[in-house]
């Protein structure tokens, strides 16, 4: 242990004194010191970074030693927490989960392990995640809270409120009296929550249920859609139909929430039909999600599907087949949708059959390149990840403001974006909605439009700071809001523009002239 401490001290001394140290030199230094001090494993970047004095943690050193920079290159740091194991309203045959893990999780995913280590306490989970992010060189000033663990709003109301309150208390670094105070405190906290996402089922997203989630601070809902076949829903014991998916999507969008779908290829349909159903997601205006998580069906021991697989009644896609199918599906994803994940984060030793490779997204990209096709979803074009992987040079003065209009769930959507046409790179975007005629929130009137999302990509820049090479804090967000105001007033004759805001972003919108209006902020036009 003493030798390791000496090696770390020597590494810190060398790194802070060297002006232009690169990744290759850093690796050589770690190899040299590990050999010199007889260490059984290489020094970790996180333990070196931890020992660098605060005053010497320059931006260059932070970038050099940062682990998994992708964690904050989409502009925010994701903090996922899990609820304790509890009974789920559904009885899906493919769903894992037992007495010591939440429904739909095995208990061995990174977030699930962290939850168990912290006794499923939301305060402890958030605190542990923030410490972890800081220890590997990230600065989690802008965070998205994701509440995982099955159907959150099937749990008792008092539990929901208490869980969110304690999670926010951890971001605030102080215990609050109640949920409302914790939300208010987060407006000026060191770790501001720019969005809160809940996982739920389509049959648990009625107007009343969605309104309850809005009161908790929800800005996004992830719906377990899985398929668009009523026949498959019945076969897997899902407990709802396509009708509930359509209604839930409309309710969420009319509440100005962002809508994500969990989608599961390989569920009892042959390949061509699988692709056709996926295509319907975007050709049919009743669906058209803002985000997708694509999870090919996996066979996990302890599920009813495992028994069927053992009897030869079911066969999932293996890695190569899944890559082919998803590569075909991704061709149909429009530029307004973001593919957040491809494949579940389940350890391979827990998968009896299905995709066992952890690089499915890369395999899909490889297949598309071989076929000469390209995915134009938000994630494949966002500036932060593109810069990280391809070292793009952006001319900030040559960006174009683009507009895409489409019908969705009985309303009209306007997708505004700043893009680098030459590099096909997305800098930031805004989702503007004219709700359907079935509006149900008192804050939203017939003469209202709403901003459902505003996001500027690129490396996360601290609140109130500027970085020459980063996209954030260059007024792109302000310009997008101004264009949304112009369209709302000039083209739709709107008298009011609302915005759904994360609790930690409200001060930003107030500076732009918005005022608190129920669970939203709004501005008279």
Task: Say what the pLDDT of residue 459 is.
Answer: 61
Q: What is the DSSP string of 423-444?
A: TTEEEEEEEEEE--TT---TT-
Phi/psi at 140 (5° precision): -75, 70
**119-158: per-residue pLDDT in tens?**
999 999 999 999 888 877 667 899 999 999 878 999 999 9
- Residues 429, 480: contact at Cβ < 8 Å? yes
Does one domain contain both 20 and 88? Answer: no
Does one domain contain both 368 and 408? Answer: no
Does one domain contain both 428 and 319? Answer: no
Does one domain contain both 442 and 346? Answer: no
Q: What is the DSSP letter of 247?
A: H
Lowest mean pLDDT among 65-69, 79-83, 108-112, 223-227: 65-69
Establish if 58 belongs to a structural domain: yes
Q: List Cα–Cα distances, 154 to 182, 222, 268, 493, in angstroms.
A: 23, 14, 28, 40
Does one domain contain both 355 and 288? Answer: yes
Of the candidates 359, 381, 403, which is a domain's last residue? 381
Both tokens of residue 107? 């208990």
Does one domain contain both 24 and 91? Answer: no
CA neighbours closer than 13 Å in the CB half-sphere of residue 121:
9
**290-318: per-residue pLDDT in tens?**
999 999 999 999 899 999 999 999 999 99
Establish if 389 belongs to a structural domain: no
Calpha distance 332→377 (Å, rounded)? 9
Q: What 3 state SS string does 468-521 have?
A: CCCCCCCCHHHHHHHHHHHHHHHCCCCCEEEECCCHHHHHHHHHCCCEEECCEE
Does one domain contain both 225 and 310? Answer: yes
Q: What is the DSSP string of 16-41?
A: HH-SS--HHHHHHHHHHHHHHTT-SS
**455-501: per-residue pLDDT in tens?**
998 764 555 545 544 555 578 999 999 999 999 999 999 999 999 99
- Residues 81, 148: contact at Cβ < 8 Å? yes
For residue 321, the tally of other CB atoms under 10 A from its CB is 17
Does one domain contain both 301 and 448? Answer: no
Both tokens of residue 417? 């974006």
Of the candidates 334, 356, 381, which is a domain's last residue? 381
Answer positive or negative: Cα dihedral of 297, 299, 304, 309: positive
Looking up tokens 């010199």 gives 36
**265-291: per-residue pLDDT in tens?**
999 999 999 999 999 999 999 999 999
Beta-strand ranges (E) seen in 371-457 are 400-408, 411-420, 425-434, 448-456
- Rounded mean pLDDT, 178-184: 98
Does one domain contain both 504 and 454? Answer: yes
Of the candidates 47, 65, 83, which is a domain's last residue? 65
Establish if 388 belongs to a structural domain: no
Does one domain contain both 295 and 416? Answer: no
Q: Is 348 helix (H, G, I), strand (E, B) or coil?
A: helix
- Residue 478 lies in domain: 394-524
Does one domain contain both 321 and 243? Answer: yes
Query: Which band of pLDDT confidence, cut at 50, 70 and 90, is reported for residue 72?
Result: very low
- Residues 474, 166: contact at Cβ < 8 Å? no
Establish if 386 belongs to a structural domain: no
Establish if 387 belongs to a structural domain: no
Does one domain contain both 216 and 188? Answer: yes
Of 131, 130, 114, 260, which Cα lies nearest the Cα of 197?
A: 260
Whether residue 98 is predicted with pLDDT greater than 70 in this model: the reply is no
Q: List Cα–Cα distances, 42 to 4, 11, 497, in angstroms.
A: 10, 12, 55
- Rounded mean pLDDT, 16-32: 76
Residue 77: beta bridge partners?
143
Domain count, the chain: 3
Residue 310: give its domain's CATH number: 3.20.20.70
- Residues 383, 427: contact at Cβ < 8 Å? yes
Residue 414: give its domain's CATH number: 3.40.630.30
Of 405, 404, 391, 399, which Cα lies nearest the Cα of 419?
A: 399
The model carries a pTM of 0.86
Calpha distance 45→15 (Å, rounded)? 11
Establish if 369 belongs to a structural domain: yes
């Amino acid at each position: 242990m003493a030798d390791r401490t000496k090696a770390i001290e020597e590494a810190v001394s060398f790194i802070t004194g060297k002006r232009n140290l690169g990744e290759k030199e850093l690796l050589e230094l770690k190899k040299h010191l590990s050999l010199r001090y007889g260490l059984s494993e290489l020094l970790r970047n996180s333990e070196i970074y931890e020992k660098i004095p605060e005053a010497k943690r320059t931006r260059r050193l932070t970038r050099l030693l940062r682990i998994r920079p992708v964690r904050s290159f989409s502009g925010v740091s994701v903090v996922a927490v899990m609820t304790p194991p509890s009974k789920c309203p559904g009885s899906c045959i493919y769903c894992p989960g037992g007495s010591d893990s939440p429904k739909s999780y095995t208990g061995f995913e990174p977030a699930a392990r962290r939850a168990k280590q912290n006794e499923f306490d939301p305060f402890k989970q958030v605190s542990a995640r923030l410490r972890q992010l800081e220890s590997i060189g990230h600065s989690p000033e802008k965070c998205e809270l994701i509440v995982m663990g099955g159907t959150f709003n099937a749990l008792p109301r008092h539990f929901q409120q208490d869980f969110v309150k304690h999670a926010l208390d951890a971001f605030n670094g102080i215990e609050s009296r109640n949920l409302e105070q914790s939300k208010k405190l987060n407006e000026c906290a060191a770790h501001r929550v720019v969005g809160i996402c809940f996982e739920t089922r389509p049959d648990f997203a009625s107007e009343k249920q969605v309104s309850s989630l809005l009161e908790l601070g929800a800005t996004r809902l992830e719906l377990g859609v899985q398929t668009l076949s009523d026949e498959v829903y019945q076969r897997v014991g899902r407990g709802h139909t396509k009708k509930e998916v359509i209604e839930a999507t409309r309710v969420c969008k009319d509440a100005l929430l962002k809508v994500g779908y969990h989608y599961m290829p390989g569920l009892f349909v042959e390949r061509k039909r699988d692709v056709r159903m996926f295509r319907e997601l975007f050709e049919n205006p009743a669906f058209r999600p803002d985000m997708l998580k694509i999870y090919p069906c996996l066979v996990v021991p302890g599920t009813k599907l495992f028994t069927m697989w053992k009897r030869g009644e079911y066969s999932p896609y293996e890695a190569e087949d899944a890559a082919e199918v998803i590569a075909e599906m991704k061709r149909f994803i429009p530029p307004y949708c973001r593919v957040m994940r491809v494949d579940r984060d389940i350890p391979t030793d827990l998968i009896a059959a299905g995709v066992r490779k952890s690089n499915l997204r890369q395999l899909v990209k490889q297949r598309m390149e071989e076929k000469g096709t390209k995915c134009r979803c938000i994630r494949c074009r966002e500036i932060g990840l593109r810069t990280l992987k391809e070292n793009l040079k952006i001319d900030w003065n040559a960006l174009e403001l683009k507009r895409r209009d489409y019908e969705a769930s009985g309303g009209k959507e306007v997708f505004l974006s700043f893009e680098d046409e030459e590099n096909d790179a997305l800098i930031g975007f805004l989702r503007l909605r004219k709700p359907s005629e079935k509006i149900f929130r008192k804050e939203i009137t017939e003469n209202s439009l709403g901003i459902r999302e505003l996001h500027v990509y690129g490396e996360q820049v601290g609140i109130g700071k500027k970085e020459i090479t980063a996209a954030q804090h260059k007024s792109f967000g302000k310009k997008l809001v101004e264009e949304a105001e112009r369209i709302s007033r000039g083209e739709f004759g709107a008298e009011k523009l609302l915005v759904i805001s994360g609790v930690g972003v409200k001060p930003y919108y107030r500076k732009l002239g918005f005022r608190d209006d129920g669970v939203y902020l709004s501005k008279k036009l």
